[in-house]
C-alpha cells in the first residue's frame, strides 16, 4: 500500500469515528429530553399506597449458631482409644493392613462406620499384634460424667481417654464403658472427675422436620470443638439393610472421621441425634451424613445405665422380608400386614402355632402394616409379657396369644452377641468365626452383582479361622469348597459338615472390588 492510499484510509476512519461521536451525542440528548419529560409528567400526582420497606433487627442465624455452639460446646468431648489387634495379615498386593478401610469404595457406607484415621505401631513385624489408635467424639448427658458415643468408637478398646474442652493441653481422663448396644451402635462411657460437668439437654427427634437447621459438633480429624451447620435432609433413613433398630436422620451438616459419636443439635440447643455414619466413596464428607435419632438414644441409654447394663428387646421369634413386596401380599391373600417367612423352632411364635405364610395384621388390636411397625412394637415390650397377635391364614382372620421372649437369646447366633443375652451355659460356637447376611437387591445392585448370589461378611471374630484366612467385613463369599453360598442357611449347612483338619477354600469377591470377575481364593486348614 502506497503512502497516499494509507493516509486516505486513515482520514476515512477519522471521519467515521467523528460521525459516531456526533450520532451518540445526538441520541443521548434525545433520550435525556424524553426522560426529562417523563419525570415532569409524574409531578403533581398523589403519594403511592405502597408500604415502606423496613430493615429487621440485627438478629441473624449466625448469631444463633454461635450462641448454641458456645452453650453446648463444653459438653462435647474428644475420645481417644487404643486397642491391640492380633494376627494382622496382608493380602497379596496390599501395602498396609488398613488399606481396605481407607479405600473400600462401594461398601464404605454399609461397613466402614467412620472414626479417626488410625495410627498404628507394630514392633512385632507384619504379622504380629499392632497398637491401633482411633479418634471419635461424645457428648456428656449427665453432670456425673456419663457420656454417650458410638459403640464402634470404643469397641474392643484397651484404653479409653476423654479430653474435655476446658482441659489444659495434654490433659485427658480415663473412661470406662458402662454399657454397649450392638444393634444401635451406641455406648455409654463414664469419666470420674471431682467437679460437675456441663451436660447437654436432649431434644425430641420426632419434632424435627425436613429443612430444619441443625449443627454438628465434634472432633473431625482430631480438631476438637469443630462446629458445622446444615439442615435435616431426610428422616427415617435405613442405610444398613436388615438393621431393624437403626433408622437415621440424614443431614448435610459436614460430618467427617472423628465426628462419630458427637451430637446433632437443633436451634433450641438440644441434642436430637448422635452422628454415626456417612455415605461417601472416599470416606470423607460428601454432603450425606446420618445421625441416630435422640428418641432412640434415650431409650437405649436408660437401659444401659440400668443394673444389667444391656438393652433387652422383646421378640416372638419370627422373620419376614425386609423389603416390602406387593407380590407377597397378593399371593398370600392379605391386603396389608407382615407375612412370616420363617419361625424360629421352639420360639414363642412356634409355641403359639404361628406358621410360615401367616400374615400378622395387628398387635393387641392395633393395626400393623409394615415390618418396622411390628418390630418397634414387640421390641418395646418386656420379656415375659403376653400379647394378642391378629393374623390372616388362608384368607381367614385368626388370633393367638404369644409370650414375649428376649430377642438377644432367640437370635444370639444371628446377632453374634453371645455376651449380651446369649445362653451362657451353652453358647453356639462358630467354626469359621464369621457372621454373614444374604445380599439384598440394593446391595447387589450397588456391587454390580447378580441378585441372589453370595453372602456379605458382617463381622469376623478376632482370633477366629475367618480372621486367619484374612476374611474381613464387606467381603462377599460366593463359594465354600466349590459349593455355592447364597444365604445364611447355605453357609450354616456347609459349616456344620466341616471337621477339624479339613481344608476350607473360600471364593471371595473382596470388599471394594467393582468387577464381577474380581474374585480371589482365601484358604486354610480348619484347626
Tens-place pLDDT, residues 41-79: 455 556 678 888 887 776 555 678 889 999 999 999 999
Measure the CA angle with vertex 208, ends 78 and 301; round to 5°.
45
- The H-assigned helical ranges of 394-448 are 407-410, 412-415, 441-446
Tens-place pLDDT, residues 332-372: 766 678 888 888 888 899 999 999 889 999 999 999 888 87
**Are domains 314-409 and 425-525 of this chain identical in fold?**
yes
Confidence of residue 29 (pLDDT cuts 50, 70, 90): very low
Cell matching residue 389: 397377635
Residue 206 DSSP code: G
Give the residue carrying C-alpha cell 433398630.
245
Can you tell me the distance from the alpha carbon of 116 to that of 135, in angstroms, rounded to the nearest whole number? 4
Q: What is the dihedral of CA 442, 447, 451, 456, to 10 degrees?
A: -90
The class (CATH top level) of 60-311 is mainly beta
Measure the CA angle with vertex 237, ends 234 and 238; round to 5°.
170
Can you tell me the distance from the alpha carbon of 396 to that of 398, in angstroms, rounded to the nearest whole number? 6
Confidence of residue 26 (pLDDT cuts 50, 70, 90): very low
Quick count: other Cβ atoms within 10 Å of Cβ 36?
A: 10
Can you tell me the distance from the alpha carbon of 228 to that of 230, in angstroms, rounded to the nearest whole number? 7
Cell matching residue 232: 435435616
Can you tell me the distance from the alpha carbon of 186 to that of 420, in angstroms, rounded to the nearest whole number? 14
Domain 314-409: CATH superfamily, name plus number: PDZ domain (2.30.42.10)
Q: Are 235 and 273 in contact (CB under 8 A)?
A: no
- Residue 481 buriedness (CB in 10 A; 0-12 / 13-18 / 19+): middle
pLDDT at 141 over 90: yes
> Any idea where the domains of the chain sit in the sequence?
60-311, 314-409, 425-525
- Residue 179 buriedness (CB in 10 A; 0-12 / 13-18 / 19+): buried
Check residue 479 and give its pLDDT.
Answer: 92
pTM: 0.58
Tens-place pLDDT, residues 416-432: 443 333 333 233 346 89
Question: Mean pLDDT throughout 508-521?
Answer: 73
Confidence of residue 398 (pLDDT cuts 50, 70, 90): very high
Question: Mean pLDDT throughout 217-246?
Answer: 82
Confidence of residue 89 (pLDDT cuts 50, 70, 90): very low
Can you tell me the distance from the alpha carbon of 287 to that of 290, in angstroms, rounded to the nearest whole number? 10
Check residue 274 and give its pLDDT.
Answer: 95
pLDDT at 40 over 60: no
Strand-pairing partners, residue 393, are 396
Can you tell me the distance from the alpha carbon of 162 to that of 172, in angstroms, rounded to the nearest whole number? 5
Question: Mean pLDDT throughout 211-224?
Answer: 90
Tens-place pLDDT, residues 104-140: 343 344 444 333 333 444 433 444 455 557 789 999 9
Can you tell me the distance from the alpha carbon of 140 to that of 199, in angstroms, rounded to the nearest whole number? 5
Residue in 523, 444, 426 with CA at minimum distance from that of residue 482: 523
Higher pLDDT pick, 428 / 506: 506
String of DSSP letters for 486-509: -SHHHHHHHHHH--TT-EEEEEEE
Check residue 32 and give its pLDDT.
Answer: 46
Higher pLDDT pick, 215 / 12: 215
Give the residue carrying C-alpha cell 514392633.
123
pLDDT at 247 over 90: no
Residue in 349, 229, 340, 242 with CA at minimum distance from that of residue 289: 229
CB within 8 Å of 200: residues ≥ 6 apart? 72, 75, 76, 139, 140, 141, 263, 270, 271
Tens-place pLDDT, residues 423-469: 332 333 468 989 888 877 777 777 777 777 889 888 888 878 998 89
CB within 8 Å of 93: residues ≥ 6 apart? none
Higher pLDDT pick, 395 / 85: 395
Strands 270-278 and 201-202 come out as: parallel
Mean pLDDT of the chain: 77
pLDDT at 165 over 50: yes
Q: Are 245 and 184 in contact (CB under 8 A)?
A: yes
Percent of the chain with pLDDT over 90: 33
Percent of the chain with pLDDT over 70: 73
Residue 428 DSSP code: P
Tens-place pLDDT, residues 270-282: 999 999 988 877 7
Cell matching residue 178: 458402662
Check residue 114 and give its pLDDT.
Answer: 36
**Active-site residue set:** 152, 185, 260
SS3 of 14, please?
A: helix
Check residue 15 and give its pLDDT.
Answer: 39
- The H-assigned helical ranges of 172-320 are 294-304
Higher pLDDT pick, 252 / 15: 252
The domain 425-525 having CATH identifier 2.30.42.10: the answer here is: yes
Higher pLDDT pick, 378 / 428: 378
Amino acid at each position: 500500500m502506497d503512502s497516499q492510499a494509507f493516509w486516505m484510509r486513515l482520514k476515512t476512519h477519522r471521519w467515521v469515528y467523528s460521525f459516531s461521536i456526533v450520532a451518540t451525542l445526538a441520541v443521548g440528548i434525545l433520550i435525556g429530553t424524553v426522560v426529562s419529560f417523563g419525570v415532569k409528567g409524574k409531578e403533581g400526582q398523589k403519594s403511592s399506597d405502597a408500604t415502606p420497606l423496613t430493615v429487621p433487627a440485627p438478629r441473624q442465624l449466625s448469631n444463633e449458631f454461635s450462641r448454641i455452639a458456645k452453650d453446648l460446646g463444653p459438653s462435647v468431648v474428644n475420645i481417644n482409644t487404643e486397642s491391640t489387634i492380633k494376627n494382622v495379615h496382608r493380602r497379596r498386593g496390599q501395602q498396609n493392613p488398613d488399606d481396605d478401610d481407607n479405600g473400600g469404595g462401594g461398601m464404605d457406607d454399609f461397613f466402614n462406620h467412620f472414626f479417626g484415621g488410625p495410627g498404628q505401631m507394630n514392633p512385632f513385624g507384619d504379622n504380629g499384634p499392632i497398637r491401633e489408635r482411633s479418634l471419635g467424639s461424645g457428648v456428656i448427658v449427665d453432670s456425673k460424667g456419663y457420656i454417650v458415643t458410638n459403640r464402634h468408637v470404643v469397641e474392643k478398646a484397651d484404653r479409653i481417654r476423654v479430653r474435655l474442652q476446658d482441659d489444659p493441653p495434654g490433659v485427658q481422663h480415663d473412661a470406662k464403658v458402662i454399657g454397649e448396644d450392638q444393634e444401635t451402635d451406641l455406648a455409654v462411657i463414664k469419666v470420674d472427675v471431682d467437679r460437675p460437668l456441663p451436660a447437654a439437654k436432649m431434644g425430641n427427634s420426632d419434632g424435627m422436620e425436613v429443612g430444619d437447621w441443625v449443627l454438628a459438633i465434634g472432633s473431625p480429624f482430631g480438631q476438637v470443638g469443630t462446629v458445622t451447620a446444615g439442615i435435616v435432609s431426610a428422616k427415617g433413613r435405613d442405610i444398613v439393610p436388615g438393621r431393624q433398630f437403626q433408622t437415621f436422620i440424614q443431614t448435610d451438616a459436614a460430618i467427617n472421621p472423628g465426628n462419630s459419636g458427637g451430637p446433632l443439635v437443633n436451634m433450641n440447643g438440644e441434642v436430637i441425634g448422635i452422628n454415626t455414619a456417612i455415605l461417601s466413596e472416599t470416606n470423607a464428607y460428601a454432603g450425606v451424613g446420618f445421625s441416630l435419632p435422640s428418641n432412640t438414644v434415650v431409650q437405649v441409654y436408660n437401659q444401659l445405665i440400668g443394673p444389667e447394663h444391656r438393652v433387652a428387646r422383646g421378640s416372638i421369634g419370627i422373620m419376614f422380608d425386609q423389603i416390602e413386596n406387593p407380590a407377597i401380599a397378593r399371593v398370600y391373600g392379605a391386603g396389608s400386614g407382615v407375612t412370616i417367612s420363617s419361625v424360629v423352632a421352639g420360639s414363642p411364635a412356634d409355641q403359639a402355632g404361628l406358621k410360615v405364610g401367616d400374615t400378622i395384621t395387628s398387635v393387641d388390636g392395633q393395626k400393623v402394616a409394615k415390618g418396622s411397625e411390628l418390630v418397634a412394637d414387640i421390641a418395646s415390650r418386656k420379656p415375659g409379657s403376653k400379647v394378642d397377635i391378629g393374623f390372616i391364614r388362608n384368607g381367614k382372620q385368626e388370633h393367638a396369644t404369644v409370650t414375649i421372649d428376649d430377642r438377644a437369646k432367640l437370635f444370639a447366633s444371628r446377632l453374634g452377641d453371645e455376651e449380651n443375652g446369649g445362653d451362657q451355659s451353652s453358647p453356639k460356637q462358630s467354626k469359621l468365626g464369621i457372621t454373614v447376611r444374604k445380599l439384598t437387591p440394593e446391595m447387589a445392585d450397588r456391587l454390580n452383582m447378580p441378585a441372589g448370589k453370595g453372602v456379605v461378611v458382617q463381622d469376623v471374630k478376632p482370633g477366629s479361622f475367618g480372621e486367619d484366612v484374612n476374611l474381613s467385613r464387606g467381603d462377599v463369599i460366593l463359594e465354600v469348597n466349590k459349593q455355592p453360598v447364597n444365604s445364611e442357611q447355605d453357609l450354616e449347612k456347609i459349616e456344620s459338615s466341616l471337621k477339624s483338619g479339613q481344608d476350607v477354600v473360600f471364593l471371595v469377591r473382596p470388599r471394594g472390588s467393582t468387577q464381577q470377575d474380581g474374585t480371589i481364593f482365601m484358604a486354610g486348614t480348619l484347626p
